[in-house]
């Protein structure tokens, strides 16, 4: 198998194009942060790379897009050996039978949506990595209580938080949510505002919860930044409209349209 180390160097023109797209998105992040009186450096850009072939991702990484995110475990498994120099986040639903594979592939799991998944991750992290090597995770919250989305119920998360924070194999860095799909980005603001308020409430209850807030996608990331996002998950603004998936869709579909 060709690896990211011995593959052909990325096309210089494509690298330049990705560099310009990255700078454009970061410029929008900076302006949104400044409107809210925030430091733009505190906002991390995660490039959502689902369906994007490894060849393009090598150019994206060369352009500075070094944090990539996938919705499906097996797509990251296939791409990671082909793309050197990136960190990988899982942002889609994680099935119990794919937890071990996720641990081997991803540096961060943003989509921990139940105590059961957290406990399985914790147990297998210790087996795979050994004691003391914790996996950074975020707790996905279904802020809008949308039946079509995964995540902890915001009203009930506090009851299980201490249990989650005690798991020795996990480092709970903060919260994540998938906003409502709306025509006007302003309509997503209440979702982001509620996640920020919930995070503050939970940290007041237990200061071990990390400060990360992963929220906002291509259509609404500027509003998310204004409301306190520390991570934005941007796909279409960097890679264009989605093409046909490059791997068989064996995992359940994750949130669409970052």
3-state helix/strand/coil string of the chain: CCCCCCCCCCCHHHHHHHHHHHHHHHHHHHHHHHHCCCCHHHCEEEEECCCCCHHHHHHHHHCCCCEEEECCHHHHHHHHHHCCCCEEEECCCCCHHHHHHHHHHCCEEEEECCHHHHHHHHHHHHHHHCCCCCEEEEEEECCCCCCCCCCECCCCHHHHHHHHHCCCCEEEEEEECCCCCCCCHHHHHHHHHHHHHHHHHHHHHCCCCCCEEECCCCCCHHHHHHCCCCEEEECHHHHCCCCCCCCCCCCCCCCCCC
Res. 250: pLDDT tops 80: no
The reply to whether CATH 3.20.20.10 applies to domain 12-239 is yes
Quick one: what percent of the chain has pLDDT higher than 90?
84
Would you state the pLDDT for residue 247?
47
pTM of the model: 0.90
Res. 243: pLDDT tops 50: yes
Would you state the pLDDT for residue 179?
83
Res. 145: pLDDT tops 50: yes
Average confidence score pLDDT of the chain: 92
Going by pLDDT thresholds of 50, 70 and 90, the confidence category of residue 45 is: very high
Over the stretch 196-224, which tens digit does the pLDDT of each residue have? 999 999 999 999 999 999 999 999 999 99
Quick one: what percent of the chain has pLDDT higher than 70?
91
Over the stretch 83-108, which tens digit does the pLDDT of each residue have? 999 999 999 999 999 999 999 999 99
Domain residue ranges in the chain:
12-239
Going by pLDDT thresholds of 50, 70 and 90, the confidence category of residue 244 is: low
């Amino acid at each position: 198998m060709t690896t990211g180390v011995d593959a052909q160097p990325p096309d210089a023109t494509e690298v330049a194009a990705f560099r310009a797209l990255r700078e454009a998105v970061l410029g929008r992040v900076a302006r949104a942060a400044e409107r809210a009186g925030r430091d733009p450096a505190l906002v991390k850009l995660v490039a959502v790379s689902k369906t994007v072939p490894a060849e393009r991702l090598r150019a994206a990484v060369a352009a500075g897009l070094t944090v990539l995110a996938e919705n499906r475990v097996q797509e990251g498994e296939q791409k990671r050996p082909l793309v050197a120099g990136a960190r990988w986040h899982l942002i889609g639903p994680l099935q119990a039978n794919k937890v071990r594979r996720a641990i081997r592939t991803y540096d961060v799991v943003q989509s921990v949506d139940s105590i059961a998944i957290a406990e399985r991750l914790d147990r297998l992290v210790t087996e795979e990595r050994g004691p003391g090597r914790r996996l950074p995770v975020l707790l996905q919250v279904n802020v809008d209580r949308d039946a079509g989305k995964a995540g902890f119920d915001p009203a009930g998360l506090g009851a299980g938080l201490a249990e989650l924070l005690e798991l020795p194999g996990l480092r709970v860095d903060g919260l994540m949510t998938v906003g409502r799909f709306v025509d006007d980005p302003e309509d997503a603001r209440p979702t982001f505002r509620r996640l920020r308020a919930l995070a503050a409430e939970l940290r007041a209850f237990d200061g071990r919860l990390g400060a990360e807030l992963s929220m906002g996608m291509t259509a609404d990331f500027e509003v998310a930044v204004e409301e306190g996002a520390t991570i934005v998950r941007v796909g279409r603004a960097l890679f264009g409209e989605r093409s046909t998936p490059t791997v068989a869709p064996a995992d359940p579909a994750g949130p669409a349209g970052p």
